[in-house]
Copies of this chain bind each other. A is one copy, B any other.
Amino acid sequence: MKRPTMKDVARAAGVSPMTVSRVVAGEAGVAPETAARVGQAVRKLGYQRNDNARSLRQKNLGTSTIGLVVDDLANPFYALMARSVEDEAHRRGHVVLVGSTNDEPQREREVIAAFTARQVDGLIIVPTIGSHAFLKRQMAGGTQVVCVDRPARGLAVDTVTVDNRAAAMRAVTHLLGHGHTRIAYLGDRFDIWTQAERYAGYLDALAAHGIPEDPALVRHELRSHPQARDALAVLRTLPEPPTALFTSNDLITLGVLDGLDHPAPLALVGFDDLPLGERLTPPLTVVSQDPVALGGTAANLLFSRIAGDRSAPRSVVLLTRFVVRGSGEFRTAAG
């Protein structure tokens, strides 16, 4: 039982395939009765146009398909972003191919290759580390590209990020303002752009207060909940342990929460909000990003490129919110 083609519909309606094409595409210039006859045949046979064949012929219209490449779709942050992109695409009659990279350049290239092989009109990418110069060829072929969350190395395209460095500086300054001088930094892979930015913000804040960096208080490469938890346990065994923590993403914040209150509570400010963060005791003080705005902005940029905008690449920086709720307002014993 094969699916019917335009030829089948044409035969059933006693017209040529070309006429069916016009009716299905909603073009003017078909006699009303002819259109009605075709419409009936379409319904009778359950005909649906093959849009892949269509876009093969119509090179100017594209495939009405875009690709979204994120770090990890299961991360609520990227899930919200994806939903936002999907909504923008849906509004414009596009569909979305989605793929996760796990921050692995290898998998990113596979995913992007699979998407471009299907002739996507554009890509929204959360770039992994590693050069993205290979995308220049795709772009020369007409594929539009927008980066979100992080810039891509070696590729000048529209990019949407947040004010990572300034926000991190503000968060750490907040802790300094509450009397803390021994503030630990717990971060993910340093080669991830957002992490490097946030670490730089941490250093900015210390420097502004004339506090030298203590390498013993800095932990990078924390890739999981347990690793973050264990890193905190180690920090607590130091001769001069930290009295406050700055955690540079949601996963690390989650891990750190396990050991936060025992034996003694530590002050904590995290980057990224958590769903129930306000209901914890104490409620979490965080730097909050808006993934919906990130995704929506990226999608809007992409669609204006797809619509033909060829102006110079733009860089959009969205602002974070600093949300004071309690966990960052513990004073030190000394303070």
Contacts and interface: CB of A to CB of B under 8 A. Distances in A.
Contact of A97 (B1, B56, B96): B96
Interface in A21-55: 46, 48-53, 55
Interface stretch (A77-85, A207-215, A314-322): A77-85
Contact of A82 (B50, B51, B98, B257): B98
A83 B117 CA distance: 22
Contacts of A53: 56
Q: Quick one: copies of this chain in the complex?
A: 2
A141 B3 contact: yes
Contacts of A116: 48
Contacts of A74: 76, 79-80, 82-84
Contact of A95 (B80, B115, B275): B115
A279 to B, nearest CB: 6
A96 to B, nearest CB: 6
Nearest to A53: B56
A254 B110 CA distance: 38
Interface residues of A, number: 58
A63 interface: yes
A283 to B, nearest CB: 11
B95 A118 contact: yes
Contacts of A142: 1-3
Given A49-B117, A73-B86, A100-B83, A141 B2 contact: yes
Given A53-B56, A74-B83, A76-B79, A46 B95 contact: no
A105 interface: no
Contacts of A52: 52, 55-56, 63, 118-119
Nearest to A46: B137
Contacts of A118: 51-52, 63, 65, 95
A276 interface: yes
A257 B275 contact: no
Contacts of A226: none
A93 B49 CA distance: 25
B100 A97 contact: no
A241 interface: no
Contacts of A55: 52
A117 B51 contact: yes
Nearest to A85: B73
A6 to B, nearest CB: 13
Interface string A260-292: 000000000000001111011100000000000
A163 interface: no
A153 interface: no
Given A73-B79, A75-B79, 16 more contacts: A2-B142, A3-B140, A48-B116, A48-B117, A49-B117, A51-B118, A65-B97, A72-B83, A74-B79, A78-B79, A86-B99, A90-B110, A257-B279, A274-B276, A275-B276, A276-B277
Q: Which 6 A-B pairs have the closest CB atoms?
A: A3-B141, A79-B79, A74-B83, A276-B276, A51-B117, A46-B137
8 contacts: A2-B141, A52-B56, A52-B119, A79-B79, A82-B98, A90-B99, A90-B107, A280-B280
